[in-house]
Amino acid sequence: MEFEYWWLLGFPLFFGLGWIAARIDIRQIVSESRALPRSYFKGLNFLLNEQPDKAIEAFIEVVKVDPETVELHFALGSLFRRRGEYDRAIRMHQNLLERADLGAEQKAIALAELGQDYLKAGILDRAEEVFNRLSDGPHAAQAQRHLLEIYEQEKDWQRAIQIARRLGPDSPGPRELAQYLCELAASDAAASPAAAQRHLEAALEENRKCVRASLQLGDLERNAGRLDRAIEHWKRIESQDPAYLALAAQRLVEAHREAGRAEEGLRLLAGYLERYPSLDLLDMVFQQTLEAKGPEDAYRLVRDELRRNPTLLGLDRLLEAQIISAASPERRRDLELVRNLVHSHTRRLARYRCESCGFKARQFHWRCPACGGWETYPPRRTEEFDLAP
């Protein structure tokens, strides 16, 4: 390609246009910066110097001087809520809603923020009122999710189910819906067993693997004196999720004993323990074997289980069996010393742990008390949890 000399005239022209554009941008930036209050730059300076409290106060001054800074209102309100200063967040968003010059969309955003302030502050009645006002607009899906959270906290399971079904694709899954129905059944079990049974059958329709529904159905049948039907409900857990069999172990033992078939119940649990090793199952089978057959059989049971699945809890039970059958007081004292050392460790390990947030509890929970997750507690003690691959 040949060089054209007239191109030389184009270079100065392009540079000149670029210089003019830069000057225009600089003048615009300078004029905008002069229009900003000094408090704004003070706030930025405090943020850069890692002084968030002073930065917040400086930005509040900006809001007072220039009420047009709507976005800064929203930012400060969210910051107050995250810091736990709910009263300041509420006042900030209420002030926004009282402004006559605020557009409809911005008012809806301010209302949604105010609802979250009330929810975080635990003022559930006001939060519910706000989210009900938003349930038909562009923020409907978010408002209904917050309403579901409120109804869970209030244990209003009937309305929680209604909201969950209304959410559509964003609704909780079958597992959560089945848990809501189990909660309804638990509240109706004493006053209306028939209504409780209907809720539990609906829970199994939502989630065929809902172990809790099978446990509660068995409880209803046992309370009505129908032991065989109760046992069948609890045995069904093996096909739903055998890890939860330990939760039914005590029920199965007692029902078989009440039916005059205690030995059959013990064989059933021993078979479960062999197929699905579990610390809770081991503890139950050990106690029942110790009671029914004596310390020698209980010792052999735990010894064989320790060889298959070595755990501290198994060792604790092995030492207990040896202490009971110890021939001399001196040997018994030695074994008790060792067992006390082991037992102090097993007590710390004999807890359930939430898979979602890590919260530990001695009691099994269907819903985590810390994070609110459903079925986040595996039916295993911490020792098994830590040793699992």
CA 267 to chain centre: 37
With contact defined as beta carbons under 8 Å apart, do 301 and 284 qualify?
A: no
Report pLDDT digits (tens) over 5-59. 444 555 455 555 454 544 444 444 334 444 445 544 444 454 445 555 555 555 4
Q: Which residues of the chain have pLDDT under 50?
A: 1, 3, 5-7, 11, 17, 19, 21-36, 39-44, 46-48, 59, 62-66, 385-389
Q: Give rounded-to-5 percent helix, strand, coil for the chain.
A: 75, 0, 25
CA atoms within 13 A on the CB side of 70: 13
Tell me if residue 374 falls in helix, strand or coil: strand
Per-residue pLDDT, 204: 96
Structure tokens at 147: 């309403």
pLDDT of residue 51: 54
C-beta atoms surrounding 102 within 10 Å: 16
Q: Which two tokens stand for residue 99?
A: 């402004």
pLDDT at position 18, please? 55
Q: Which long-range contacts (CB under 8 A, 24 or more apart) does 261-270 make?
A: 262/292, 263/292, 266/292, 268/235, 270/301
pLDDT in tens, 69-107: 667 677 777 877 888 889 888 887 887 787 777 788 888
Query: How much is the pLDDT for 56?
Result: 52
The predicted pLDDT at position 23 comes to 46
Which pair of structure tokens corresponds to residue 55? 């930065």
Query: What is the reported pLDDT for 115?
Result: 92
Q: What distance in Å separates the CA atoms of residue 379 and residue 249, rounded to the nearest whole number?
A: 12
The string of DSSP codes covering 329-360 is: HHHHHHHHHHHHHHHHHHHHHS-EE-TTT--E
Q: Tell me the domains of the chain and their CATH numbers.
A: 246-350 (1.25.40)
Q: Which residues pair with 352 in a beta bridge?
A: 361
Q: How many CB atoms neighbour CB 354 within 10 A?
A: 19
